[in-house]
Amino acid sequence: EVKRDPKIQVARLKLPILGEEQRIMELINENEFLIVAGETGSGKTTQIPQFLYEAGYAEHKMIAVTEPRRVATVAMAARVGYELGLTSKEVSYLMRFEGNVTKDTKIKFMTDGVLLKEIQSDFLLSKYSVVIIDEAHERSVYTDILLGLLSRIVPLRRKRGSPLRLIIMSATLRVEDFTENTRLFKDPPPVIKIDSRQFPVTTHFNKNTNSDYLKEAYKKTVKIHTRLPEGGILIFVTGQQEVHYLVKKLKAAFPYRKDVDYTKLITKNKPVSDADAALDSEPEDIESDDDEVEREMKRARKARRKAKQKSKTLPKINLDDYDMPEDDGQADLVDDEDSEGHLSDSDAEEDSLAPSIKSCRQPLWVLPLYSMLNQNKQARVFNPAPAGARLCVVSTDVAETSITIPSIRYVVDTGKKKMRVYDHTTGASAWRVVWTSQASAEQRSGRAGRVSSGHTYRLYSSAVFQHECPEQHPPDLCRRPVDDLVLTMKCMGIDKVVNFPFPTAPDRMQLRLAEKRLEALGILEKPPMKNIRKDDEEVLKVTPLGKAVSAFPLLPRYGKMLALSHQQNLLPFTIALVSALTVPEVMTGKPDSWPATGNVLLLGDPGVLLRAIGAAEYAYVKGEEEIFCAKYGLREKAIKEIRKLRKQLTSEINLSVAGVNVAVDPEMKPPNDNQARLLRQLVLSGLGDQVGKKIALDEVKQGEDKRKFKYAYHCGELEEPVHLHSDSILRKSIPEWVVFQELYETGAEERRKMVMRNVTAIEPEWLPLLVPQ
Ligand code: ADP
Ligand code: MG
Which of 203-217, 276-290, 573-587 is least confident? Answer: 276-290
Query: What is the reported pLDDT for 598?
Result: 63
pLDDT for residue 769: 67
Q: What is the DSSP letter of 634?
A: B
The verdict on the CB of residue 404 being under 6 Å from ligand 1 is yes
Q: Is 196 in the pocket of ligand 1 (CB under 6 A)?
A: no
The string of pLDDT tens digits covering residues 629-664 is: 888 888 898 899 899 889 888 988 888 788 888 888
∠ CA 117-118-123, nearest 5°, is 110
Beta strands in 549-669 (DSSP E): none
Q: Which backbone phi and psi does 761 adopt, to 5 degrees?
A: -80, 140
How many angstroms separate the alpha carbon of residue 45 from the centre of ligand 2?
4
Tens digits of residue pLDDT in 357-382:
888 889 999 999 998 888 888 889 99
Nearest atom in ligand 1 to 401's CA: 4
pLDDT in tens, 76-127: 999 999 999 999 999 999 998 789 999 999 999 999 999 998 998 899 999 9
The DSSP string of 235-293 is EE-SSHHHHHHHHHHHHHHS---TTS--GGGTTTTS-SSHHHHSSS---TTSEE--HHH
Listed range (128-142, 393-407, 419-433, 700-714) with the worst mean pLDDT: 419-433
Q: How many CB atoms lie within 10 A of CB 513?
A: 14
Nearest-CA residue for ligand 1 atom 6 is 43
Is the pLDDT score of 400 beyond 70? yes
Between 324 and 492, the higher pLDDT residue: 492
* Displacement of CA 668 from its chain's centroid (Å): 32
pLDDT of residue 310: 42
Do 89 and 58 meet the contact criterion of CB atoms below 8 Å apart?
A: no
218 C-alpha to ligand 2 centroid (Å):
29
Interhelix angle for 604-621 vs 636-656, to 10°? 100
Q: What is the pLDDT of residue 313?
A: 33
CA–CA gap between residue 546 and residue 415 (Å, rounded): 40
Residue 410 forms beta bridges with which residues?
Answer: 233, 455
| Ligand 1 centroid from CA 137, angstroms | 18
Pocket test for ligand 1, best of 35, 42, 46, 93 (most atoms within 8 A of CB): 46
pLDDT at 205: 95
Centre of ligand 2 from the C-alpha of residue 768, in Å: 55
The whole-number average pLDDT for the span 134-144 is 92
- Cβ neighbour number for residue 153 with a 10 Å cutoff: 18
Cα dihedral sign, 149-152-154-157 = negative
Give the percent of the chain with pLDDT over 90.
48
The pLDDT score that the predictor gives to residue 603 is 85
Tell me the average pLDDT across 505-523.
Answer: 90
Q: Is the CB of 105 under 6 A from ligand 1?
A: no
The rounded Å distance from CA 248 to ligand 2 centre is 29
The rounded Å distance from CA 398 to ligand 2 centre is 11
Residue 78 CA: nearest ligand 1 atom is 23
DSSP H or E run through 645: helix 636-656
User: Minimum mean pLDDT among 350-364, 495-509, 680-694: which range?
Assistant: 350-364
Position with higher pLDDT, 553 vs 369: 369
Residue 187 predicted with pLDDT over 60: yes
Task: Give the Cα separation of 114 and 218 in Å (integer).
Answer: 38
The tens digit of pLDDT for each residue in 693-746 reads 999 988 888 888 888 899 999 998 888 899 998 888 899 889 999 999 988 888
CA distances from 425 to 428, 555, 556, 744 (A): 8, 8, 11, 12
Q: What is the pLDDT of residues 228-277, one digit of tens each?
A: 999 999 999 999 999 999 999 999 999 998 888 887 765 544 443 444 44
Q: What is the three-state SS of 658-710?
A: CCCCCCCCCCCCCCCHHHHHHHHHHHHHHHCCCEEEECCHHHCCCCCCHHHHC
Q: How far is it, in rounded angstroms, from Cα 196 to Cα 44?
A: 11
User: Does 382 sit in the ligand 1 pocket, CB within 6 Å?
Assistant: yes
- The answer to whether the CB of 38 is under 6 A from ligand 1 is yes
Q: Do 724 and 603 touch, CB atoms closer than 8 A?
A: no
The reported pLDDT for the residue numbered 1 is 77
pLDDT of residue 347: 52
Look up residue 92 and give its amino acid.
S
User: In terms of DSSP bridges, do strands 33-38 and 191-194 run parallel, antiparallel, or are they unpaired?
Assistant: parallel
The three-point CA angle 122-126-128 to 5° equals: 120
Ligand in closest contact with the CA of 138: 2
Q: Is the pLDDT reported for residue 337 higher than 80?
A: no
Q: Is 450 in the pocket of ligand 1 (CB under 6 A)?
A: no
- Of 59, 147, 145, 143, residue with least CA distance to 107: 59
**Residue 750 contacts by C-beta under 8 Å, 6 or more apart in sequence?**
none
* Nearest ligand (C-alpha, residue 77): 1
Is 79 a pocket residue for ligand 1 (Cβ < 6 Å)? yes
The CA 524 to ligand 1 mean position distance, Å, reads 46
Q: Which atom of ligand 1 is nearest to the CA of 405?
A: 16
Report which secondary-structure segment, H or E, holds 640: helix 636-656
How many secondary structure helices (H) and strands (E) does the chain include?
A: 29, 24
pLDDT of residue 340 exceeding 80: no
pLDDT score recorded for residue 26:
97
**CB-count burial class (<10 Å; 0-12, 13-18, 19+) for 498:** middle
Separation CA 639–CA 644 (nearest Å): 9
Asked whether the predicted pLDDT for residue 159 surpasses 80, the reply is yes
Mean pLDDT of 490-516: 90
Specify whether the CB–CB gap between 327 and 209 falls below 8 A. yes
Contact 375, 78 (CB under 8 A): yes
Give the ligand 1 atom nearest the CA of 17: 3
Which of 449-463, 479-493, 615-629, 663-677 has the weakest average pLDDT? Answer: 663-677
Average pLDDT, the chain: 84
DSSP state for residue 34 in the 8-state scheme? E
C-alpha 95/C-alpha 659 separation (Å) is: 23
For the stretch 301-313, pLDDT in tens is: 565 555 444 433 3
Distance CA 293, CA 286 (A): 12
**Mean pLDDT lowest among 102-106, 548-552, 768-772:** 768-772
- Categorize the per-residue pLDDT at 70 as very low, low, confident or very high, splitting at 50, 70 and 90: confident
Please list, in sequence order, all residues whose beta carbon lies within 8 angstroms of the beta carbon of residue 773, skipping any fewer than 6 positions away: none
Ligand 1 within 6 A of CB of 650: no
Q: Whose CA is nearest to atom 23 of ligand 1?
A: 79
The residues near 328 (Cβ < 8 Å, ≥ 6 apart) are none
48 pairs with which residues across the strands? none
